[in-house]
């Protein structure tokens, strides 16, 4: 049995929970430790089960809660040495453990497969979390999907997949042109169309659970994102994440 929940997902903070009956890991801690713990309690998830936190890259919406959470929980935080060096000093965790992108990390009963991704950070990584034959991907903050993303997605039973923006809404919106260019670049974020192509063409037959994640508040909506996936919606159980509240808890067995 495995429980999945997006405690926060968006440009104002990201934190993803993957747990079993006795242990759990978090991917990113981009909201305050207080809010992480509060949102876990809202969903009857036990913070005492957390044995490790993995940080994908140094941007504040993925790291702002790390220092306080590390002091409170006294557990290891896994990240690359370059990510640690690039973080704000006020965000650096007390007990960093460094990995090299591509490494496999054992954390309790979980195996975390790390791999590099395309994003405008010093050494950004994505993660596939393996437990008892169940594989969960956390694939957000990806400007374009690489061979590594395809390889790891093909093994997943569930995925938190970035669907950041609708291309028309981005182009017609109020963002300044340099920001629009950055978001749509190969080092920026995945659009609804790109995420659709990735799922439609490269997911394995075992993938059934998809969390549409990291939706922009200005350049996307749940309805717009969902409308893009209607053609393949019968293949997946599609769930939404939120910038302001935890998602539903999904249980896989």
Three-class HEC string of 21-87: CCCEEEECCCCCHHHHHHHHHHCCCCHHHEEEEECCCCCHHHHCCHHHHHHHHCCCEEECHHHHHHC
Domain of residue 205, CATH code? 3.60.15.10
Could you read off the pLDDT of 50-73 as tens digits, one per residue?
A: 999 999 999 999 999 999 999 999
pLDDT tens profile 129-164: 999 999 999 999 999 888 999 999 999 999 999 999
pTM: 0.97
Of 40, 15, 38, 19, nearest to 28 by C-alpha is 15
Total domains in the fold of the chain: 1
- 204-218 pLDDT, tens digit per residue, is 999 999 999 999 999
CA distance 100 to 215: 29
pLDDT of residue 232: 87
Domain enclosing residue 133, as ranges: 2-252
What contacts 24, CB < 8 A, 6 or more positions away?
Answer: 3, 17, 18, 45, 46, 49, 50, 51
Helices (H), the chain: 33-42, 60-63, 66-73, 81-86, 147-153, 167-172, 177-184, 192-202, 222-228
Which of the residues in the chain have pLDDT under 70? none
């Amino acid at each position: 049995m495995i429980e999945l929940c997006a405690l926060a997902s968006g440009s104002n903070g990201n934190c993803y929970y993957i747990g079993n009956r006795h242990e759990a890991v978090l991917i990113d801690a981009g909201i305050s430790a207080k809010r992480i713990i509060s949102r876990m309690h809202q969903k009857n998830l036990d913070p005492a089960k957390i044995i490790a936190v993995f940080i994908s890259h140094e941007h504040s919406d993925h790291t702002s809660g790390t220092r306080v959470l590390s002091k409170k929980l006294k557990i290891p935080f896994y990240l690359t040495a370059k990510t640690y060096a690039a973080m704000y000093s006020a965000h650096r965790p007390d007990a960093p453990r460094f990995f090299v992108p591509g490494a496999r990390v054992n954390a309790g009963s979980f195996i975390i497969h790390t791999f590099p991704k395309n994003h405008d950070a010093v050494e950004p990584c994505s993660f596939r979390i393996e437990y008892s034959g169940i594989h969960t991907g956390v694939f957000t903050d990806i400007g374009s999907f690489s061979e590594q993303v395809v390889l790891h997605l093909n093994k997943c039973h569930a995925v938190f997949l970035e669907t950041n923006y609708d291309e028309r809404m981005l182009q017609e919106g109020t963002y300044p042109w340099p920001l629009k260019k950055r978001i749509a670049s190969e080092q920026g974020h995945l659009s609804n169309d790109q995420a659709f192509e990735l799922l439609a063409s490269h997911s394995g037959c075992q993938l059934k659970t998809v969390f549409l994640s990291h939706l922009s508040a200005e350049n996307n909506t749940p309805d717009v994102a969902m409308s893009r996936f209607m053609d393949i919606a019968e293949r997946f159980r599609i769930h939404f994440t939120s910038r302001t509240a935890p998602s539903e808890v999904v249980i896989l067995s």
